[in-house]
Structure 1
C-alpha cells in the first residue's frame, strides 16, 4: 500500500476554527511544531491568515512579523517548514528565512513566485484555486469532467513552474473549503470524496499530490476530530502522496494500518 508523507498544521490566526491547531504566541507555535515532528510529521505548515470567507484579513507586514520569529528558530533546528500564503511579499521573506516549501493558495503573480521558489531551491504546493486567491473566490464552477479540468490547470502551472527552475512540486486539487456554494456539507463532502478517489489520475502528471484533509463538522459534530481519519482512508486509497492534517497521530495510525493490511 502506498504510504503518504504527513504535513502537520499550525494556525496563527484566531479565526481558524480547528482549535487544536491554533496557537496564540511564538512560544506556543514552536512547542507545537516540535510536538508535531515528534508525532510523525514530515513537514509543518504555518499560516498567519485563515482561508475561511468570514476571517479577518491580515496584512503582509503583520504576517511577516508573526511568521519569522517562529520560522527562523525551527529552520535552525532542521525542521522542514511550509508557509501557506498567497501574498508575494510574505512568500519571499519566508523563503529568504529558510522555508522549505511555499504552499501557494493564490494564482498571481505566479511566475514571480515560481522564480523566487527556484532561487531559494525550495519546493512549492500548487493549489487549485478558481480566482486570484482563496480569499477572493465566489461560487465553485464544477465542470462535467472535473478531473480533466484539474489536469489541464496543473499541466499549465507545472510547465510555468518548471520553466522558472522549480524542481520540487506538489499539486493540491483543492477541496472547496472556501467556495460560497460549497458551504453546504453534503455538496462539499461529495465533491471532496470524488476528488480523493480521482487522485490517481492527477499522479499521471508525474508529480506528487497533496490533499488537505476535511473535517465535515456538520456531520461529525462532537466527534469532529475523527473526521480526518476517515478521509485519510479515501485519500490513501487514491494514492495521495502528502496529507495535510491537524491530527498527525490519528492519521499516521491510519496510514500505518492500511500499509499493514495491504
Structure 2
C-alpha cells in the first residue's frame, strides 16, 4: 500500500494511513490548551497516544488557532525541546510542529525525525535551508498568513485548483531550496485561511491533491468546519472536545482516499478508522 499513499524518505513505512497524535505544549490551544503544558505531562501524553495506536507524535509549542498571537522563540524552545528529547529517547517517531528554523534545528538535534511547518517555510526564511541541511522530511502546508488575520484571507474563486496551484508552487520553492522531493509531505491546511465549505471541498477532492505526487497529511481534528457540520438547530457548534467522532469519520475518508497520515488529538477512534479503511482496500 506504500505506492498508494507514497513513501516518505527517512520515516517508517506503514501498510495503511498512519496516525499522528498531537501533543500541544501550549496554554492556549483551541482544543486542549493547558492540558499538557508542563514537560512531564506532555511526555506522558505522547506515550499514552502511542499506546492508544498513534504511529508518530507531533509536538508543538505555539498555538496556530485563528486569532492566536505568537510566542517568542525562547519560550517555544523551552516548551518543545525537552519533550521531543524525552519522547525520542523512548523510541517514538517524533515530529516537531513549528514555524521557526531555530526550533526545528534544536528539535531535530534532540531526536525529531520530521519537521511539520504550517507555513511551509514561509514564516521563517531560514527554515528551508535548516531542513535541507538536516536531511529530514518536511511537511509543507497550504498557508496564506499568520493566525492573527488568516480568516480575512479565506477568499477563493475555485478553492481546490487554487490550493493545488499554491501548494505546487510552494513545493517547487522548497525543492529549489534544497529539500529532497522524496522527503516532502503536503498538507492542504484545513481550517487555515479557509471557511467550512472550503475545507469540505478539499476533503471531497483529496484525489486531486494526491495528483501533486507527494504523500498527504490530513489534519481535520476537532476543527471549526466539523463544528459547523455538527451544529445544532440554533447553529451553535459543539465544543472542540465533542468532535472526535466526526474527526474519525474524516480519518476514514482520508485513509480511503489514499492519505499518508491523519493528524488527530484523540487517537483511538481514528486508529480504528484507518485500520477499517485498510481492510476495505484489501477486500476490493
TM-score (norm 2): 0.80
Equivalent residue for 2:249?
230
Q: Is the 8 A contact 1:6 1:42 kept in 2?
A: yes
- Deviation track 1:207-256 (CA, whole Å, cap 9, x = no partner) reads 10111024233526274232211222332233221100112110011111
Which structure 1 segments of 5+ residues have no match?
183-187
What is the aligned length?
A: 253
Equivalent residue for 1:114?
128
Structure 2 residue aligned with 1:28, among 37, 41, 59? 41
Equivalent residue for 2:202?
195
Q: Is the 8 A contact 2:26 2:33 kept in 1?
A: no
Q: Is the 8 A contact 2:160 2:201 kept in 1?
A: no
Root mean square deviation, CA, Å: 2.4
Counterparts of 2:124 and 2:68, CA distance in 1: 24
Equivalent residue for 2:168?
155
Equivalent residue for 2:51?
38
CA drift of 1:101 comes to 1.1
CA drift of 1:139 comes to 1.5
Equivalent residue for 1:185?
none
Q: Per the alignment, in what secondary structure is the counterpart of residue 229 of structure 1? A: helix
1:209 aligns with 2:216: yes
CA drift of 1:110 comes to 5.8
- Deviation track 1:145-194 (CA, whole Å, cap 9, x = no partner) reads 32222222222222222231334111011112x54x73xxxxx1x32221
Counterparts of 2:253 and 2:153, CA distance in 1: 22
Equivalent residue for 2:266?
247
Q: Is the 8 A contact 1:213 1:245 kept in 2?
A: yes
CA drift of 1:74 comes to 1.8
Q: Per the alignment, in what secondary structure is the counterpart of residue 139 of structure 1? A: helix
Q: Is the 8 A contact 1:10 1:22 kept in 2?
A: no
Flag the 1:225–1:127 CA change in 2: closer, same or farther, 3 A. Answer: same
CA drift of 1:70 comes to 0.9
Counterparts of 1:258 and 1:37, CA distance in 2: 20
Counterparts of 2:84 and 2:255, CA distance in 1: 29
Q: Is the 8 A contact 2:100 2:127 kept in 1?
A: no
Structure 1 residue aligned with 2:107, among 94, 101, 113? 94
Which structure 2 segments of 5+ residues have no match?
5-15, 232-237
Q: Is the 8 A contact 2:88 2:112 kept in 1?
A: yes
Q: Is the 8 A contact 1:16 1:22 kept in 2?
A: no
CA drift of 1:136 comes to 4.6
Q: Is the 8 A contact 1:48 1:66 kept in 2?
A: yes
Q: Per the alignment, in what secondary structure is the counterpart of residue 19 of structure 2? A: strand
- Deviation track 1:44-71 (CA, whole Å, cap 9, x = no partner) reads 1111111123435311101101111111
